[in-house]
Amino acid sequence: MIRVLMIGPARSVHGGISGVVNNYYEAGLDEKVDLRYIGTMVEGGRMRKLLQAGTAYLRFLAALSGCDIVHVNMASDNSYRRKSVFIRTAKRFHKKIVIHQHGGDFKTFYEKEQGPRGRERIRRVLSMGDAFLVLAPAWKDFFGKIIDRERITVLPDSIAIPAAYEKSYDNHDVLFLGRLCREKGIGELLSCVPALAQAFPDFHLYLGGIWEDEALQKLSERYREHVTWLGWISGEEKENWLRRCRIVTLPSWFEGQSVSLLEAMAHYCGIVAADTGGIPQMILPEETGLLVPVKDALALREGLSRLLREEALCRRLGEAARRKVETEFGIEENMRTLLAIYEKVLGG
């Protein structure tokens, strides 16, 4: 059995990478390979994060000799900086390395926040991977200019598909799932509330996530009649909200892909999302949802209004989204691809 040492944020962290890792565990990846996972980051203050990173590195050193492959889940910014240490260490120990890139803003990090030396360091680190996994074809095009394109494989996020059911579209409920911050388009989304509430008196926006912006949280509280903060939701509670709400929206400024959109597709939701990152791989305009330009509050409001107004359109798009996620984004096929990548990396 292949021995895989996987690193990434702690599985308890509220975020996309943790969700992907937890999906792998729930689907039984740890039964198909000898899988050991080390969380390199936790939520909390600076000292708690530093302690976690240091402890994780010591555990990583102790586990290296017993693994065949090091699988690194990485985003940009601090995530890249932390993981670069682990990648360099694995390379010194002559381990096979799979780098799994999840971040939606790596382009800005690489092109605008790094000088020539910084970009060269990033190229050297990323080139240490024997395989490089990205979430969408657009990211293969981007990273193909930085490292050997032949090493790059598109491996979209995936989910376990829930059983089919008959969804009701007789409400005006909209759901958002994710970090509650400016970069997720929460400012634009909240700006739509007054007009949507006037057009649809029973309109209600449900926000599932953790607030990261105090000013936006205060703004949301001005619309208590039409906006409810759910906190971070998961498991059966999240399933219930996805079944209940007619529409799911994700107006992010940037996005690698989005597990929450896959979950919305699997629950027949009408979707209004930003045209960025890997989202167009999932949401085909007028086929499986509606796409709107990034940071365009007016277009977002018009897209939401359209699906709130046209029940038949919302149903058609939701049912098509369900068919697409069933055929292209199921966890079983994703794991088969991942296992084949492991075999290829080991020369099998």
Mind listing the pLDDT tens digit for each residue in 297-321?
999 999 999 999 999 999 999 999 9
Count CB-CB contacts under 10 A for residue 165: 10
pTM here is 0.90
Residue reference for tokens 């953790």: 210
d(CA 224, CA 227): 5
- pLDDT over 90 percentage in the chain: 94
Which pLDDT score is estimated for 348?
Answer: 63
Which pLDDT score is estimated for 115?
Answer: 96
Question: Would the pLDDT of 103 be above 90?
Answer: no
State pLDDT tens for residues 199-243: 999 999 999 999 999 999 999 999 999 999 999 999 999 999 999
Binned at pLDDT 50, 70 and 90, residue 127 comes out as very high
Starting at the edge strand found earlier in the chain, the sheet holding 69-74 runs 34-39, 3-8, 69-74, 96-101, 131-134, 152-154
CATH numbers and ranges of domains, the chain: 3-158+330-345 (3.40.50.2000), 173-328 (3.40.50.2000)
d(CA 197, CA 192): 9
Helical packing angle, 259-266 and 16-27, nearest 10°: 60
Which pLDDT score is estimated for 101?
Answer: 96
Which pLDDT score is estimated for 14?
Answer: 87
